[in-house]
């Protein structure tokens, strides 16, 4: 997934999938439900089967997002960390093995118990479960449709519009940061994010210029919006209606039932 990347409409492939046609708000509720399910179940086979199915579905077609290598690296390191912390810290159950075996009268050290392994896998499963289901959501949801869908649910359009505005300006502000960063680099400043000093410099020397430019931008946008009488009326006519279909509701209820059955059986 490219960092700070919001796809514009032209980035969306022409094909449709069940997740893409689903109402964004209902879809958001559905993934929240699945995330909660991941935090409730303790059956590793069911948990990892579900993650596997979601991953297969995610990779089934090419989506506008692609998970970047550094992000995958972070996810793997974080998962490993969760696993190791549980494996080292939990000493209930039978001893499975020693991480450092006995070598010539020294050791063994760091015993790993079965419950430590179980908990490690459980929490890694939770983490990956939430991440993968989030990928499916953001891959199949146009964020602006999500904001519009919120408005149709009687969320005040001024607030829902803030979400659209924030998402709309993410790539713009990101480009601006890059411009400032390039300007600093041409002056000989190290702003390479792969080094500690570079990242620190990036934060330090980018912060004030970007705040200043954002404040100017805020002034322009506010005057422009007020000039168009934004917020004058209680209701706002949407450019595009996001339908709330019965089939979406049925799908959501079915999902609730399936998860409930998976919990009790």
Partner 1 sequence: MKLNNDTNSPDRNGESPAHIPWIKPELVKRRRKNPYFQTSDLVIIALFSSLGGIFSTFIGYLANLLNSILGIPFGGGQVLAGLHIFWLVFIFLLTDKKVGVAFSAGVLKGFVEFFTGNAHGLLVILLSSSQGLIIELILILFLGTKRRSIIAIAAGFAGLSNVILQQLLFFNSQIPITFIALIGLISFISGITLGGLFPLSVFYIFNRSPILQWRKPLSLSPRYLRKIQAIRISIIVILLLAEVSVIVFLMSQNKYSIEITGEVYNPYTFYVGDFPKITIEAELIGDVTYVPPKNYTGVPLYLAIEKAQPRLQSYYIQLRATDGYSVRFNSTEVDKNDNIIISSEDGRLRIVAGHYHGSYWIKNIASIELTALPS
**What whole-number distance in Å separates Cα of residue 20 and Cα of residue 150?**
17
Q: Which is nearer to partner 1, 108 or 247 (CB)?
A: 108
Indicate which single residue of 45, 56, 106, 234 sits in contact with partner 1 (rule: CB under 8 A): 234
Q: Which is nearer to partner 1, 93 or 247 (CB)?
A: 93
Is residue 159 a contact point for partner 1 (CB under 8 A)? yes
Instruction: Name which of residues 46 to 75 contact partner 1 (CB under 8 A).
Output: 65, 67, 71, 74-75
Output the DSSP codes for 240-253: S-----HHHHHHHH
CB of 246 to partner 1, least distance (A): 26
How far from the centroid of its chain's Cα atoms is residue 85's Cα? 24
As given in the structure block, the two tokens for residue 224 are 């422009």
Please identify, among the stretches 16-24, 53-61, 195-203, 243-251, the one whose residues bind partner 1 according to the rule CB under 8 A: 195-203
Task: Determine the size of the site formed for partner 1 (CB under 8 A).
Answer: 93
**What whole-number distance in Å separates Cα of residue 154 and Cα of residue 117?**
47
CB of 248 to partner 1, least distance (A): 19
Instruction: Name which of residues 71 to 110 contact partner 1 (CB under 8 A).
Output: 71, 74-75, 77-78, 81-82, 84-86, 89-95
- Radius of gyration for the alpha carbons in the chain, expressed in angstroms and rounded: 24
**What whole-number distance in Å separates Cα of residue 224 and Cα of residue 255?**
44
* CA distances (Å), origin 52, targets 30, 44, 237: 18, 12, 42
Tell the residue number behind the tokens 């979400």, with chain if given.
Answer: 163
CB of 16 to partner 1, least distance (A): 20
Is residue 182 a contact point for partner 1 (CB under 8 A)? no
Q: Which is nearer to partner 1, 46 or 71 (CB)?
A: 71
**What whole-number distance in Å separates Cα of residue 224 and Cα of residue 220?**
6
């Amino acid at each position: 997934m490219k960092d700070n990347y919001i796809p514009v409409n032209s980035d969306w492939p022409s094909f449709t999938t069940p997740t893409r046609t689903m109402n964004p708000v209902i879809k958001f509720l559905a993934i929240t439900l699945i995330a909660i399910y991941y935090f409730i179940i303790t059956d590793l086979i069911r948990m990892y089967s579900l993650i596997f199915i979601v991953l297969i579905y995610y990779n089934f077609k090419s989506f506008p997002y692609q998970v970047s290598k550094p992000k995958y690296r972070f996810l793997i390191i974080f998962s490993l960390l969760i696993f190791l912390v549980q494996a080292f810290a939990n000493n209930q159950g039978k001893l499975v093995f020693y991480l450092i075996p006995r070598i010539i009268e020294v050791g063994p050290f760091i015993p790993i118990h079965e419950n430590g392994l179980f908990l490690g896998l459980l929490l890694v499963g939770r983490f990956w479960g939430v991440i993968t289901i989030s990928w499916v959501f953001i891959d199949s949801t146009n964020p602006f449709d999500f904001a519009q869908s919120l408005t149709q649910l009687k969320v005040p359009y001024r607030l829902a519009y803030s979400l659209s505005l924030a998402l709309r300006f993410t790539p713009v502000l990101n480009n601006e940061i890059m411009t400032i960063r390039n300007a600093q680099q041409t002056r000989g400043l190290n702003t390479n994010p792969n080094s500690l000093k570079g990242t620190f410099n990036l934060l330090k020397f980018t912060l004030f210029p970007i705040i200043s430019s954002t404040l100017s931008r805020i002034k322009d946008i506010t005057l422009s919006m007020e000039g168009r009488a934004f917020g004058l009326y209680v209701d706002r006519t949407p450019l595009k209606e996001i339908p709330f279909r019965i089939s979406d509701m049925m799908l959501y209820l079915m999902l609730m039932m399936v998860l409930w059955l998976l919990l009790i059986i």
